[in-house]
């Protein structure tokens, strides 16, 4: 059943990607990140209170256990890694089409797969290998679309921002497998959300606020807190899937990148982006690969 939770995570991750694009369009990136991470952290406040006062106990789905210093350090490291990836991806999403950014971001499973094989010794069956190869092949073809839309892959810094976001995101995925093997998933998700918000406060006030006229003003939109809420739901399903001993991080990462489907559809309908027919063909290839991954997992 772990792959079904991975699909649920992909659904909400796709909605999250669209809301990000809506939030950062003609808006300051760092304050958007601050508000969205704060909304994520605040969702866990009542769960913290219920867990500390005995209304939620060990064994309950949402119970957050106490964590020692070493656990906090591991979770803080994840927060730094993910926030680095987010900063790069938010800036790239602001300046590039979502139907280009999302598929490039989706090449992350390639690096996750390599890491999973080298670090965790994961073994895939033939169907899973075939599905993964097909999925990654069409993800790569998607990444070449940028040339048709006047995006210079060599000289466009936003393209390299999304590459860096993808690599750090893949590293985070591998780290998640380690965390879910050794730490409580609710402790990881809750404190990870809190630490991200804490890290964004000095970034906003030391980097963006003094230079706000140069870097652009901030306009609050209701899509911004929804970014954090959608991510919490997506991550809850993701961590739940990953906590299963039989779960394969390489497969989960590929399935989560199915969120590109939602980003593609909304990019075509909402943002009126280009080369939709060619992108639709590549998207069909992605769907084929994901279907094979599902069949292999079952």
Query: Tens digit of pLDDT for each residue in 172-217?
Result: 878 887 888 889 989 999 999 999 999 999 999 999 998 888 777 8
Name the H helices within the chain: 2-24, 29-43, 45-52, 69-95, 98-105, 108-115, 126-143, 157-182, 185-203, 212-215, 223-242, 249-256, 260-269, 276-297
pTM above 0.75, yes or no: yes
Phi-psi region of 56 (alpha: psi -120 to 50; beta: other; left: phi over 0): beta
The per-residue pLDDT string of the chain (298 residues; one tens digit each, 9 = 90 and over) reads 777 888 899 889 889 989 998 999 889 999 999 999 999 999 999 999 999 998 998 888 899 999 999 999 999 999 999 999 999 999 998 988 887 777 777 666 667 666 767 776 767 788 878 887 887 788 778 767 766 666 666 677 888 898 899 889 888 878 887 888 889 989 999 999 999 999 999 999 999 998 888 777 899 999 999 999 999 999 889 888 877 777 776 677 777 777 877 877 877 777 777 777 887 788 788 778 767 766 775 5
* Tokens 């909605």, residue located: 15
Q: What whole-number distance in Å separates Cα of residue 169 and Cα of residue 105? A: 9
Query: Tens digit of pLDDT for each residue in 135-149?
Result: 778 877 876 776 666
What residues does each domain of the chain span? 2-297
Q: What is the DSSP letter of 206?
A: I
Report long-range pairs for 272-277 (Cβ below 8 Å, ≥24 apart): 273/97, 273/98, 273/99, 274/97, 274/148, 274/149, 275/99, 275/145, 275/148, 275/149, 276/99
Q: What whole-number distance in Å separates Cα of residue 241 and Cα of residue 237? A: 6
Nearest to 75 by CA among 44, 110, 46, 102: 44
């Amino acid at each position: 059943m772990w792959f079904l939770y991975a699909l649920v995570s992909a659904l909400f991750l796709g909605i999250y990607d669209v809301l990000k694009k809506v939030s950062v369009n003609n808006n300051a990136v760092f304050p958007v990140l601050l508000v969205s991470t704060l909304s994520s952290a605040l969702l866990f406040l009542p769960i913290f209170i219920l867990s500390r006062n005995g209304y939620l106990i060990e064994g309950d789905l949402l119970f957050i256990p106490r964590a020692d210093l070493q656990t906090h350090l591991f979770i803080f490291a994840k927060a730094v890694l993910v926030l680095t990836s987010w900063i790069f991806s938010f800036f790239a999403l602001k300046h590039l089409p979502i139907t280009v950014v999302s598929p490039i971001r989706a090449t992350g499973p390639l690096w996750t797969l390599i890491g999973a094989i080298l670090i965790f010794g994961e073994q895939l069956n033939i169907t899973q290998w075939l599905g993964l190869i097909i999925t990654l092949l069409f993800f790569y073809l998607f990444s070449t679309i940028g040339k048709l839309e006047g995006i210079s892959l060599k000289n466009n810094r936003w393209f390299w921002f999304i590459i860096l976001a993808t690599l750090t995101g893949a590293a985070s995925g591998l780290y998640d497998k380690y965390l879910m093997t050794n730490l409580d998933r609710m402790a990881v998700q809750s404190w990870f959300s809190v630490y991200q918000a804490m890290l964004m406060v000095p970034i906003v006030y030391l980097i963006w606020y003094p230079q706000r006229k140069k870097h652009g003003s901030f306009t609050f939109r209701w899509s911004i807190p929804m970014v954090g809420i959608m991510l919490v739901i997506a991550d809850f399903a993701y961590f739940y899937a990953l906590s299963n001993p039989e779960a394969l991080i390489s497969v989960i990462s590929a399935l989560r990148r199915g969120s590109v489907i939602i980003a593609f559809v909304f990019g075509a309908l909402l943002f009126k982006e280009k080369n939709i027919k060619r992108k639709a063909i590549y998207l069909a290839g992605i769907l084929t690969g994901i279907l094979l991954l599902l069949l292999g997992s079952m």
